[in-house]
Chain A
C-alpha cells in the first residue's frame, strides 16, 4: 500500500537554529515528490517537486533532497515567518493523478 510518513509531528526551533524535516515514502512507481507549506486557515502553497533520487532543490532558507526511500526538507537559519505546517506528498502510478499526502510537520520558530 502506498504510504507517506512525516516526522516529527511538531518542531520548535529558536530563530537561527537549523534543522531538518523528514518524509519517508513507500510507493510503487514514484512520479514525483512534493513539498508544500500550509499556513493556518489557508490552502497549501507549492514549494518543490523532486523527481529522482539524488535530486536537490533550494529556495531561500529551504532545501529539499530526495533518496529512494525518503526526502528531507532542510531549514537553514529559520526565521519566525517560516512557522507553518510543511506537507509532503507523492504522486505515483502511470496514467493517474492520484496524490498521497503525509500528515505534516508543524514548525514553530521562536524569535
Chain B
C-alpha cells in the first residue's frame, strides 16, 4: 500500500530533550516536506526537500533541523524543544504532476513539550 508513515504518532517530552520524528514514504517520491498545524494558523511549512541531500527552509524553520540522506526518509529533528513547539506535525511527499506537485500526507505526530 502506498503510504507516508510517521513515528511516533504521539509524544510528550520535556523542554530541552532532543527528539527525532521519523517520516518514510514508499512511493519513490522525490519531494518531501514537514508541516506544523496549529489552531487558527493552519498548516505551515517547516522544511522541504526536493531531492536527496537537497533541503530548504519553509516559513517556520526556527528550532528545527532536517536531513535527507535517502530518498524514502525525511526525519525532523528538534535539538532543544521548547513549549512553543507543541503542535501537530505532518510529513508529506509528492511527485511532479504537470507543473506542480500533489502532496500525500502522513497521519500526523502530536507533540507536547512541557
Contact = CB atoms under 8 A, between A and B. Distances in A.
A99 B103 contact: yes
A45 interface: yes
Interface residues of B, number: 30
Contacts, number: 69
B interface majority secondary structure: strand
Interface string B33-48: 1010000111111001
B31 interface: yes
B56 interface: yes
Interface stretch (B12-20, B64-72, B78-86, B105-113): B105-113
Given A32-B99, A49-B97, 18 more contacts: A32-B101, A42-B107, A43-B90, A43-B106, A43-B107, A49-B98, A49-B102, A91-B101, A96-B56, A98-B58, A99-B48, A99-B58, A100-B59, A101-B44, A102-B42, A103-B41, A103-B42, A104-B42
Interface of B: 4, 31, 33, 35, 40-45, 48-50, 56, 58-59, 90, 92, 97-108
Interface of A: 31-32, 34, 36, 41-46, 49, 51, 87, 89, 91, 96-104
